[in-house]
Chains A and B, each alone.
Chain A
Amino acid sequence: MSQTTAPAVDPTTGQRLDKRSSYDFVVVGGGPNGLGIAAYLSKWGFSVCLVEARPELGGGADNAEPIPGCSIDPHAVYFYGAAGPPLEQLDLASYGFRMSFIPNYGGCITHDHRAFFGGNTFHDSSSRDPEVYVEMLGVDRDTAKMYLEFMDALRPRMRDFFRSIYWTPPYDESWGIPKAQTPVARVLRDCLPMYDDAMLDMSFNEMMDALALPDPVRAGLLLGSWGNGPHPYWKGMALPGFACTQLQFFSGCTPVGGMHALAHALARCALANGAKIFVNSPVSEIIVHDGVAKGVRVADESLLEEKTIWANMGVINNTHVKSLPKLVSSDHLTKTFRQRIADLSLKGGSLYVANFIVNELPEYSDAPERYEGSNYPSGMALHCTTDALMELMRDVHTYRMHPTDLDHYIAWYIVHAPHDPTRNRSNLPGGVVTVNLQVPAPEDHKDGPLAVNDAKYEILDNLKQVLRHYAPNMTEDKYIKSVINTPYDSEQRNMGFVGGNWMGMRQSEDEWWARKPLPELARYRTPVEGLYLCHQTSYPGGLCLSAVPYNLMHILKEDYSEIEATTPEWWYPSPWHLTDAEGARGRSSLSTGGDG
């Protein structure tokens, strides 16, 4: 480790290097995953240097304050990682990270005012009467009973369900472990009487069919899946789709102060443990010698005097997997591999994000009693039925959606203010609220991304109309400031959001689990020894769960005896994790894998 290591030697000249520019690990990129791995490695006792291209850390965990005292969320809006180990292992609370849990997470309203209110109230364990659910879900008694039993069976294992799917490193495809033996299948089979392996091949939409859930609850869940992961009609993604909707209910919260507070906590954990972090320092090259990653070179425009940062142990790449061939010289990646990267599908959809700063909380005309005080839902799907959603999905994926077509304005509506008073520190009269509306949109548009940017004001006006349809008090005079980021803007602000895709790439079965982003990269290793991936384009993807760094630690522990030998007390691995050796033994090893 750094304290005992002699100054590193420049592998090209044999000269000893200034200690300042030499670290155990160099992390490229300061998004939530880069900060997460910097925190893990530095807390573990290694010296870490993280370099970020942008002026601010945090990537998608980001806030801005376009008018004084009112913060907006340009990207991530909720913290879903409450159920994961990193929160505890990195002790983020001790660096000031706080969560405000939401009693009534949200629901869905159709354009003809059929409403469903879900969230945690919906799952309140105090209510065991199926009749309550008959009314709430709009289903018959048998379906209500089935749903209740389903949730009752799952609830005690909910955390295992989440951890088996998100906080477990994917298995290597070559081990030949069948889908039915993946951790999530094992957990569900164990706890759900109605579990069927057929679910593994379903789309989320088909799973909703199987559960016989009608609109609007179904439409709300489908949109929840689309917004946070797989699109509802993608085959084989029913369980990941279901998981991300339940993550919202059972592991989600309003991060107090905004998502940037998560970036602060992660960065502060890393810094307090000795990590060095530099912003405005884009990396131009990952240095490789003899097939081994040795450090990075930062671009000339970086403020760092020392343009080369050496890594004694490894380089961790928190940038989009597609940037790998740009950062690593073609001498070290085969042509085939480069082509395979180039052929990765990034199609996943983007969002128009409008942030409206208004001087009054929107008041829904439907069931106003459900919106009182802290019951005010933090999220609502507006304008949403399954049919409309499927049509929108079709038009998004075929790039036919026109940015000004009002029929396509299914929106996810987010208000944090009732759950987090820090969101309004303005002294403006009347109480200022930020309303965030997200509309699914294609990454690109047939007339080019700038065509969408040219329609910004029209998009904002349309969204105001949608909002007013449900909350008649939202008249024009209530708006103080409106800002929007289009897919193009999102990509400008965050180079990991290629095409404006917040997830960075497609969350479909051919790029999921052991194939994410490619089978040979699924375990976070790369063809370059000592170079690892730690970006949302690796498993399990985005959502600021700190799952990628947690999973990566399992792999680093296997690859570095120094890490294995210094395993701290606070670390615990995923109970479903298989080491390479265990995995190579194939299915027989599963019995030792532990099932919680």
Chain B
Amino acid sequence: MSNDSYTRHIPPFSDVLSELPPQFPDETETDVVVIGAGPNGLLAAAYLTAAGLDVTVVERRFEIGGGLATEEILFPGHYANTHASYHYMVDYLPPLTDFDMAGQGLRYHKPYGQIGGVFGEDYVYLCKSFEDSRDALARFGIDQADAYGRMATRFHQIVDEILAPATYLPPDPPVDLTQALQRTAIGQDMLEVSEMSALELISSYGMRDSIQATLLYSACQWGLSPIESGVGFMVPLMVDRGTQKAFIQGGSHRLASSFARVILRQGGLILDNAAVVEITTDGDSATGVVLDDGRKIRTRKAVLSTLDPQSTFLRLLPAEAVPAEVRDAADGWVWDKWSLLSVFFVTKGKPQWKPNPNNGMIGLPTPFDTILGFDDTEDVTSFFDSIEKGEIPKFAGHFTVETEFDPTLSQVEGEDVCFFQMPAPYDWDWDGRGDEVVREVTALLDSHYEGFAESVIDCVVETPKTIEQRIPCMRRGSIKHGDYNPLQMGFNRPSVECSSSRTPVNGLYLGGASMFPGGMVIGGPGYIAAQVICEDIEVKFPFDRPDRLKRYLDTYFPDGKD
């Protein structure tokens, strides 16, 4: 296809058009270019513009947001959160308090019912309220409620005191971190759980199998192996935050819009339909970017890439600008061990849970996620194992009746939006077996929800391949831009040279999900990048550190960090 007419120059044939005002200049200059308008890019741009910097955010897609996407893929009139449907770290995300996000129309809502787990005859119900969860589990025996209580309390302390604040500070070398954590009992606890696998940790509390299965699925669904040790610290995070998830009224995209409003008001510029094809360099310094239509944006201070390491270091930068060890690290980057399959449905009316006399839970509010299709803990473990090997042993996962929580997602009265999601391998015959996916998932839901199959009006399947097509730096459908394994976490994410956001290329910073501490709309990479950029270019970071971060630093690094 020829692109020769794709021009911002006025063709000579029209007298009218020759009087037009100029279009966007071919060459512009700015303090900082942020590559990618996902949650981290937007968050960083909000802080950098607040610091008084001139910032241009460039986004490849026609909409900003990256994983914060609420789009009308169920056309016409129904919206789906195609990536993140809820967020984990709402209680901790600094920008939510630093900026007047509520004033931009942002409303988070944390549903009462967080997780429902259907395992055999058991229905495990977990709430955002600790004691209500214990009440719901007490029907399996007070000992069960107590065991859960011990686990949940411990997990929450680890998150609240260590993991949450550490999310927003540059990572420490493992030796330093170990030393620091030794200072408190909770820190020692965390060191202990880090050595364990998810399965070992969760089964160490003596809980009933159905409860363990529910927790294990919740801990691992986003890409943690149940049996791998060394990333055990992720389990408290996933489990604790998994029962504290909050969604945004109006869809996840509203967070992106709210950031955009802040950025624009502070003088920033956002360009969409603007794909970066090159990060320009002068010697060992980054000097700007080139867009796919030839436009050049020069930077006076910094380029911040929120893309995956292969895109940044192997595709966009000239080879000679990148040190060999960084290129090698990028080359050896391991993508997520599995991706996601999402099936979005439009139904006539909200799916109604089939009355189940055994669950005894009728009358409780619908949980945000309901885990369906597994037998027990062993089944969950072997399911993840098969998915990791590239197989789909069966269709089982979690289901959310989204319009139950956010009616704005359907613009057509009487029609509702819901979605089923499950871990899924990238390498599978998605093209050839698409019908099977819909049939199997519909059958699973039909067995739990009254007349589900008949109520379906429309359905869209988003496979690992479509995730990659929408957002190419989620290569192989990697929603976290790269696997969570010990070699790619903490100080190693994405490599020891770059996990602080600084890179060996002067003026080039990283700030996406592939950087410490990772993805899942936790905002850490963007927040750290903004702090580090401000520090390097000697501009005052526009907000004080949250008290929680200060307490963490005082407790664990009383002598300061390097």
Query: A-side interface residues toward B, CB under 8 Å?
Result: 20, 54-56, 63-69, 71-72, 74, 82-83, 87-88, 91, 93-103, 120-121, 123-126, 155-156, 158-159, 162, 249-251, 256-258, 260-261, 264, 268, 271-272, 274, 276-281, 301, 303-305, 361, 372-374, 417-422, 425-428, 431, 483, 485, 489-490, 492-493
A261 to B64, CA, bound (A): 11
In the complex, which residue of chain B has the Cβ closest to the Cβ of A74?
B76
A94 to B271, CA, bound (A): 10
> For B460, what are the chain A residues with a Cβ–Cβ distance below 8 Å?
66
Asked if B381 is an interface residue, CB under 8 A from chain A, the answer is: no
Interchain CB contact (< 8 A) of B15 among A68, A156, A256, A305 = A156
> For B76, what are the chain A residues with a Cβ–Cβ distance below 8 Å?
74, 483, 485, 489-490, 492-493
The answer to whether B469 touches A428 (Cβ under 8 A) is yes
B292 CB to nearest A CB, Å: 7
Q: Which of B6-14, B152-160, B171-179, B226-234 forms part of the interface with chain A?
A: B6-14
A94 to B411, CA, bound (A): 33
A485 to B75, CA, bound (A): 8
A280 to B3, CA, bound (A): 38
Q: 5 other contacts beyond A159-B19, A372-B2, A373-B4, with CB at 8 A cut-off?
A: A55-B409, A91-B21, A93-B23, A98-B273, A256-B273
Interchain CB contact (< 8 A) of A257 among B62, B73, B265 = B62
In the complex, which residue of chain B has the Cβ closest to the Cβ of A264?
B272
A100 to B5, CA, bound (A): 7
Residue of A55, A98, A305 with most chain B CB atoms under a 10 A cut-off: A55
A132 to B265, CA, bound (A): 54
The answer to whether A280 touches B16 (Cβ under 8 A) is no
A100 to B17, CA, bound (A): 11
B254 CB to nearest A CB, Å: 8
Asked if B186 is an interface residue, CB under 8 A from chain A, the answer is: no
A521 CB to nearest B CB, Å: 28
> For B328, what are the chain A residues with a Cβ–Cβ distance below 8 Å?
none
The answer to whether A125 touches B13 (Cβ under 8 A) is yes
Interchain CB contact (< 8 A) of A304 among B105, B267, B470 = B105
A278 to B103, CA, bound (A): 9
Interchain CB contact (< 8 A) of B2 among A88, A121, A264, A373 = A373
Interchain CB contact (< 8 A) of B17 among A93, A125, A250, A303 = A250
The answer to whether B24 touches A250 (Cβ under 8 A) is no
A156 to B76, CA, bound (A): 43
A102 CB to nearest B CB, Å: 7
- Give the dominant DSSP class at B's interface: loop
The answer to whether A101 touches B5 (Cβ under 8 A) is yes
The answer to whether A65 touches B70 (Cβ under 8 A) is no
B461 CB to nearest A CB, Å: 10
A159 to B19, CA, bound (A): 9
A83 CB to nearest B CB, Å: 5
> For B72, what are the chain A residues with a Cβ–Cβ distance below 8 Å?
56, 64, 66
The answer to whether A124 touches B5 (Cβ under 8 A) is no
The answer to whether A120 touches B14 (Cβ under 8 A) is yes
A555 to B271, CA, bound (A): 33
B279 CB to nearest A CB, Å: 19
Digitize B90-107: 1 where CB-to-A-CB distance is under 8 Å, 0 elsewhere. Answer: 000000000000111101
> For B273, what are the chain A residues with a Cβ–Cβ distance below 8 Å?
98, 256-257, 261, 422
Q: Which of B195-203, B256-264, B313-321, B421-429 forms part of the interface with chain A?
A: B256-264
Q: Show 7 residue pairs from A and B whose CB-CB distance is below 8 angstroms, ordered by the A residue.
A: A63-B62, A96-B269, A98-B8, A155-B15, A422-B62, A425-B60, A489-B77
> For B63, what are the chain A residues with a Cβ–Cβ distance below 8 Å?
260
> For B470, what are the chain A residues with a Cβ–Cβ distance below 8 Å?
65, 68-69
A102 to B274, CA, bound (A): 20
A29 CB to nearest B CB, Å: 15
Digitize B528-551: 1 where CB-to-A-CB distance is under 8 Å, 0 elsewhere. Answer: 000000000000000000000000
The answer to whether B269 touches A95 (Cβ under 8 A) is yes
The answer to whether B1 touches A418 (Cβ under 8 A) is yes
The answer to whether B62 touches A261 (Cβ under 8 A) is yes
